[in-house]
Structure 1
Amino acid sequence: MAELNQTPEKAGSKSRSKKAALRVDLTAMVDLAFLLITFFILTTTLSKPHAMDVAMPVGDEQGGVPESRTLTVCLGKDNKVMYYLGLANKPLVAAKLTNFKRDGLRKAIVDIREQVKKATGKSMMVMIKPADTSVYENLVSALDEMTIAGVQQYAIADIAPKDVSLLKDRQAY
């Protein structure tokens, strides 16, 4: 049992009244403190991790997506993004440089998606190609833009030498 005792007066000192020793039982307060600590530890909600769903291909399908439905997004330095529709050698939509703002990559994806849907009647496939000079944040931003724009099919691929030369021509590598 916990006690708090006041020190007794010395024998030679004069005191007007004789003070009794003060005794306070702290057991109940300690028990309450441990109960409160236990309660708050057990009821605290820790932050839950947020994960993005990634769909992986199933089986050994060898069918490809035609270049008329393939949008290539190349991530460059300084938060710059280059995109084109089709092949790098002969693009259906010429390579353009933009950023990650609302009127940048998102608008380009929505516009080209509508153009592809009108021309082919099918959905668009996006190839995301991060360059060596891009940062991880740009890749996450590009994936976020795919989710926001409602793109169902996209992939992350290695950047090709032709894409690197296009980025260099636009001072984005």
Structure 2
Amino acid sequence: MAELNTGGDGGKGGKVRSKKSNPGVDLTAMVDLAFLLITFFMLTTTLSKPQSMPLAMPDKDPKNEPKDNTKIPEARMMTILIGKDNKLLWYMGKFETPTIAPTEAAYGKNSIRKDILKNTAIAKANTDKPEEEGLIVNIKASDVASYRNLVDILDEMAINKVQLYAIGDITPAEIDLLKQTGLY
């Protein structure tokens, strides 16, 4: 039990007086209240939540492989190749026969963001079915690309509200294209 003693007979008085007992204050209730308040605030405050980006990855189980390959219209398919020095290369359609030739771009609202918005408009204009509307982006990072560049392009997908995008493996022919343009 905690007690607080106040006062005392520290002087050298010549008179003999009757001893008065010092008043005792019981601090047990205050200590209990302090611990209750600490517990309350610890339980009611939220800790900082880690910032993460939702990313759906395909199942690697070979049993769950799709039985048929779904054909994607070339007008909806955009491929982004991430190179070095915060630069990237993008093209529309297949690599062998692109509908829009490979174009170099940088990150930001005046470069890749405008290209994504333009290609989204093209993809919406070239479809007959409303359920097959929108751009499909295949993101491929090279060995010289930084992790930050991959996160930046994923941020661009979120900013531009691209519904369908995937992270794929870069092919040797695409690496050769990056070497020719000086981005590898």
For normalisation by structure 1, the TM-score amounts to 0.80
**CA 69–51 in structure 1, closer or farther in 2 if over 3 Å, else same:** closer
Residue 142 of structure 1 and its aligned partner are, at CA, apart by 1.6
Query: 1:100-149 deviations in whole A, cap 9, x for unaligned?
Result: 20111111111122223334445332110011111222222222222222
2:172 counterpart residue number: 161
For residues 137 and 157 of structure 2, the distance between their equivalents in structure 1, rounded to whole angstroms, comes to: 8
1:47 counterpart residue number: 48
Unaligned runs of 5+ residues in structure 1 are: none
For residues 16 and 56 of structure 1, the distance between their equivalents in structure 2, rounded to whole angstroms, comes to: 94
Query: 1:67-117 deviations in whole A, cap 9, x for unaligned?
Result: 343211011122212101123333221211112201111111111222233
Residue 46 of structure 1 and its aligned partner are, at CA, apart by 2.7
The AA in structure 2 aligned to 1:139 is: L
For normalisation by structure 2, the TM-score amounts to 0.75
1:90 aligns with 2:97: yes
The 8 Å contact of residues 75 and 122 in structure 2, kept in 1 or not, is answered as no
1:100 aligns with 2:107: yes
Residue 170 of structure 1 and its aligned partner are, at CA, apart by 2.4
For residues 78 and 25 of structure 1, the distance between their equivalents in structure 2, rounded to whole angstroms, comes to: 70
1:3 aligns with 2:3: yes
1:27 counterpart residue number: 28
2:12 counterpart residue number: 14
2:156 to 145, 165, 170: 145
For residues 162 and 90 of structure 1, the distance between their equivalents in structure 2, rounded to whole angstroms, comes to: 13
Q: Secondary structure of the equivalent of 2:111?
A: helix
1:132 aligns with 2:143: yes
**CA 127–23 in structure 1, closer or farther in 2 if over 3 Å, else same:** same
Among the aligned pairs, what percent are the same residue?
Answer: 44
